[in-house]
Amino acid sequence: MDGMLRRLAKTGIACALHWTGANKLIGALNGSRNMPLVLGYHRVVEDYTASAGHYIQEMLTSLRMLERHLD
% of the chain exceeding 70 in pLDDT = 89
Query: H or E segment at 22?
Result: helix 22-30
More confident residue, 27 or 45: 45
pLDDT score, position 29: 79
**23: buried, middle or exposed (CB in 10 Å: 19+, 13-18, 0-12)?**
middle
Residue 18: what residue type? H
pLDDT band at 36 (very low <50, low <70, confident <90, very high): low
Query: Residue range 41-70: average pLDDT?
Result: 87
Residue 63 has pLDDT above 80, yes or no: yes
pLDDT score, position 49: 85
Helix/strand/coil for 38? coil
pLDDT score, position 35: 66
- Spatial contact of 43 and 58, defined as CB atoms under 8 Å apart: no
